Chain A
Amino acid sequence: MIYSVPNPPSPCKILEFDPEKCTGCNICVETCPLDVMLPNPEKGREPLVLYTEECWACGGCAEECPNDALTLIAPTKQRISAIWIRKSTGEEFRVGMAKVPEPNTRPPLGNRR
């Protein structure tokens, strides 16, 4: 079925849920200071992202998610030029690349979680 829908409300897709990991606990919904998300009408499923354009990328939702089910993904128009270059090889990388390079597993500093 093809529905009449408005244009996508924002050119930025901001959050990606991993439906395998998400339990629909809505902790992220309660955390978000801007009410970007609403609980999914279907219980146990990932929240609905309603107010995309209000997300200011604080990362609180991703931090509080107990299942690491949520990625805060920067808008494509930012990712496309937020590039780093490996000095030794000259290779270029960025978030969201199809080919995911070897992750750097060093955690941020600080001993409180």
Chain B
Amino acid sequence: MLWYDYIKKTGKVPEWPYKVEYGKEKVVESDVLVIGGGVAGCRAAIEAARRGASVAVAERGSVKRGGQGGAGVDHWHGAVTNPCSKVTPEMYTQAFIESSKGYTNPSARYIIAKEGWDTLRECEDMGVQIRDEDDIFKGAPFRDEETKLLFAYDYESRNCIRIFGHNIKPVLHKTMLELGVSIYNRVCITSLLTEGGKRGARVIGATGVNTRTGEFCVFKAKAVVISTGRVGRLFNFSPEVNQFSSMLDMNLSGQGFSIGWRAGAEFLMMESVGVRGASENNYVPYSTGNCSNTYFGTPIVDSEGREVPYLKTDGSRVGEYGEIFEPEKPEEGGFYIGVGVGLHQPIAKKYRLPDIDPDIPNKIARGEYKLPLYADFTKMPELERRALFGLMIGNEGKTRVPIYRNYTRWGFDPDKDMLLCPPGEPMNFRGSCWWSGGGKGVLNSMSILGSGYLTDWRLQTTVEGLFVAGGQPVNGSGCHGEAQTTGRYAGRQAAKYSRTAHHAEPDPSQLEAEKERCYAPVRAEGGIGWKELNSAIVRIMEDYCSQHRSENVLKLGIKRMRELMANEGSRAYASNPHELGRLIECFGLADVGEMIMEASLARRGSNSALSFYRTDYPNLDEPEWDCFISIKLGENEAETSKLPLDYYVREPYAPTLQENYSLYGAFDA
């Protein structure tokens, strides 16, 4: 029953159902603390526990179904060492370097490529179905008859695997419980504890607030892994209309960046914010017709039955239907790099597949295609259709229930039906982009992409004892393969580190100051609430940190942000522990906003790979600025420096990917 209906009926406002004890301390001690129990965090916890460490997981929501990956998974990228793959870890890493013009994280990419298949195989052991055990797809061009593996997108090179992963989180959750991992749900981590309370010193734990009870949690640990996923709520914030179609839930708010920033860790690519395709303000992904990502390969027809062709990268039409799934130049080492792997667009041609006619908007405007368009599943070969709707939509995040279950209950049958692509503006049909989410979203939504912690080959940050996984390292969190593999790897590293590290007592003044900061809002009166504060932060970002930036505007933006937080921010109220959690996240969002604006200030050159434009430095791609900008919080101010794009194979590291992986990663693997 809606709360609204309840008060309308009873005239009574229900009491907060949980016992509230603001500030009451709860102390937890473990070898390894994992912050964020998404898929990356769960894998880190499982791996560390298997290696004998005692592990605590602090999760903002609830581990069993929480996080971006909480609702399921249907395709797994980067499993390049699977027995059928024609791609090597070196090729895979190189594809990312080329496609992103170097603005990626090759060490993490290489780790993912080396260990992705093993990570997936362990999912199978834990209880996720990764093969066509029931022989439903016998004879399909995307099936390997011997291993019964099913491949997605690129049927030639076979490095992305279709899986039946709707139960991924329940399975990981169960394994964690079996291994004795202690799980603390509904705990929003608010800060990292450092030795002696000093910024930049070794990380020795974290603090958190329970968002049901208001309790103050103090986690003491020898090693900490941050795996809090990506950053939302910084642009385009209006959950009343957007949240249902969002790709990020509200718990993904950048708190995981803010805590590391305050602890003195270095970050890269924070300036990487731009207008991107996004699903906000539209439809639940895949609820309407389109041909992108999971719906890749769906035939599109116009209202008079005219088929919209898929074109190769040279503009020629694909012949047979199956050619859609073929990379164009396999002999030159070309293969499809994947969808949703957190890359800047457009990616190098060598690593693309054919795509729907990019000229649709003009053709619609000229009347060549008549709206509405439809996704005509009936035109697909039977097994392709089964794989797409029965397997992928039936198992992927946010589609199993809102699409598969609901649509079929109302009679939808892909064997017989076409799905409408809501008409709107011709521009909405740019590329194969998410038409179900595209529309207005594509045109006006900014988002942060690829930013993250600077890590070494152990996935340790620049602060000792602090490891990161999933969406936290640079260019992280585009997919399960990446998140789970880096999680497993970081867990292994953290467990090893914790064997020689000692427990340190938190600095009492650091704890006191954090408590004061966190609980001020429950005593505040007359200020504004978290939503108003969140919206104001977003306003600043949209006004002062849009696609085209300049020094004077960015400086005004930083000034506004500080002003906002010193005034309205410091007096904002929280009426209950839930609002308190959301408000503390706003404090973190303001930090992330500042990090972005500071990094943008430091990059004094426009950059096409990052879609980064400075109106006061309009020259594109000056060699002097073909580098990373590293940023950290110094004594009081942001400190920035340049870092070469190939830092991961320079001193102190070895000169090749292979050597570094053997040196740092491959211990008792």
Contacts and interface: CB of A to CB of B under 8 A. Distances in A.
A and B: bona fide binding partners: yes
Interface of A: 1, 3, 5, 8-14, 17, 30-35, 38-41, 45-60, 62-64, 71-75, 77-78, 81-88, 93-97, 100-113
A81 B288 contact: yes
Contacts of A47: 1
B17 A38 contact: yes
Interface in B336-372: none
B251 interface: yes
Contact of A78 (B67, B70, B284): B284
Given A12-B241, A17-B1, A35-B212, A104 B413 contact: yes
A59 B401 contact: yes
A57 B410 contact: no
A63 B7 contact: no
Contact of B128 (A41, A88, A112): A112
A-B pairs, 7 with minimum CB distance: A108-B394, A59-B401, A33-B61, A110-B164, A60-B65, A33-B66, A101-B411
Interface residues of B, number: 79
Nearest to A108: B394
A19 B429 CA distance: 42
Nearest to B134: A111
Given A3-B7, A33-B70, A58-B401, 16 more contacts: A5-B7, A10-B239, A10-B241, A14-B244, A31-B62, A32-B62, A35-B212, A59-B400, A81-B288, A81-B422, A84-B420, A87-B376, A87-B417, A95-B410, A103-B411, A113-B167
Nearest to B412: A84
Q: Is the interface of A mostly helix, strand, loop or mixed?
A: loop
Nearest to A103: B409
B418 A84 contact: yes
Contacts of A100: 410-411
Interface in B56-110: 60-62, 64-67, 70-71
B2 A82 contact: no
A33 B407 CA distance: 24
A94 B417 CA distance: 11
Interface in B398-412: 398, 400-402, 404-412
Contact of A12 (B133, B244, B287, B288): B244
A25 to B, nearest CB: 15
B11 A33 contact: no
A104 B3 contact: no
User: Quick one: which of B62, B71, B244, B422 has the most chain A CB within 10 A?
Assistant: B244
Nearest to B408: A104
A31 B250 contact: no
B14 A48 contact: yes
Interface string B218-257: 0000000000000000000001110111101111000000
B178 interface: no
A71 B409 CA distance: 11
A106 B408 contact: yes
Interface of B: 1-4, 6-8, 11, 14-15, 17, 60-62, 64-67, 70-71, 127-129, 133-134, 136, 164, 166-167, 186, 211-212, 239-241, 243-246, 248-251, 282-284, 287-288, 374, 376, 378, 386, 390-391, 393-395, 397-398, 400-402, 404-413, 416-420, 422, 578
B402 A112 contact: no
B408 A57 contact: no
A113 B62 CA distance: 20
Nearest to B283: A78
A63 B400 contact: yes
Contacts of A1: 11
Contact of B244 (A50, A57, A106): A57
Contact of A84 (B8, B70, B417): B417
A95 B409 CA distance: 8
Contacts of B374: 85
Given A62-B405, A74-B402, A11 B71 contact: no
A41 B17 contact: yes
A110 B407 CA distance: 18
Contacts of B66: 33
- Identify which of A13, A73, A87, A110 gathers the most chain B CB atoms within 10 Å of its CB: A110
Given A103-B408, A108-B390, A59 B17 contact: no
A87 B411 contact: no
B411 A35 contact: no
Given A59-B401, A103-B411, A108-B394, A87 B378 contact: yes
A103 B244 contact: no
B410 A63 contact: no
A111 B135 CA distance: 12
A86 B66 CA distance: 36
A74 B420 contact: no
A42 to B, nearest CB: 9
Contact of A87 (B248, B391, B416): B416
Contacts of A97: 410
A55 B406 CA distance: 17
Contacts of B287: 74, 78, 82
A8 to B, nearest CB: 6
B409 to A, nearest CB: 5
B249 A56 contact: yes
B190 to A, nearest CB: 17
Contacts of A64: 64-65
Contact of A9 (B4, B288, B400): B4
Contacts of B391: 108-110
Given A33-B65, A87-B378, A11 B3 contact: no
B66 to A, nearest CB: 3
A34 B240 contact: no
